[in-house]
Amino acid sequence: MQIKDIYTKLLDHFGFQKWWPVHKGTDRFLEVSIGAILTQNTNWKNVEKAIENLIRENVLSWDKLEKIDIEKLKKLIKPAGFYNQKAVYIKNFIKATKGQPKERITKDFILSIKGIGEETADSILLYGLDKPYFIVDAYTKRIFYRLGIIKTKNISYKKLQDIIQQNIPEDIDIYKEFHALLVELGKNYCRKKPLCKECPLNDICKKNLK
């Protein structure tokens, strides 16, 4: 089984996911970055509530997030959880990136900002700046392990990212869709307790728990 066949099967099953949705009139790089920070350790529904609060208060802009009082920011992003920490991360991010030319926003640059790890950095780079970094999250590790493509779930982020990137075309749209499709599979079928019978990959999965 080839990794690109997994992509094709998932696309046939779920269709295009068209990630990352941003609100009309907002700066894509900014909204994706804030969303990527807010989504650490929580689900997307909670992130949406926090983003909606920022939009309602008209503060989802570089200038306003730079100036906003941190206590007010904490209150607005509270639905996303870990809001004390995340407010600091957002402030750090804005301070480091505001006004920087996009060519200077490299992976090393983003990783140097306190509070930003590999997955958050790659989400920002791929969905915010259209740079070719495949995102590896917990779903990706679990699914690739169960499929038998990797032998251990303790594989490093970079190693799994390299395996995937070396086996699919270097195409931003495929990177974006494939990640979104793996999240759909993880949420709907390849859960902690997997639903293998209905899973669209059950004919090619090594760990198929029929």
144 binds ligand SF4 (CB under 6 A): no
Asked if 143 touches ligand SF4 (CB under 6 A), the answer is yes
Q: What is the per-residue binding string for ligand SF4 in 161-200, x denoting contact by CB under 6 A?
A: ----------------------------xx---xxx--x-
Shortest gap between Cβ of 10 and ligand SF4 (angstroms)?
Answer: 10
Q: Does 209 bind ligand SF4 (CB under 6 A)?
A: yes
Q: Quick check: 125 binds ligand SF4 (CB under 6 A)? A: no
Q: Residues 19, 32: contact at Cβ < 8 Å?
A: no
Pattern 30-49, binding to ligand SF4, x per CB under 6 A? Answer: --------------------
Q: How many residues bind ligand SF4 (CB under 6 A)?
A: 15
Residue placing its CB nearer to ligand SF4 in the complex, 164 or 190: 190
Q: Which residues bind ligand SF4 (CB under 6 A)?
A: 143, 146-147, 189-190, 194-196, 199, 201-202, 205, 207-209
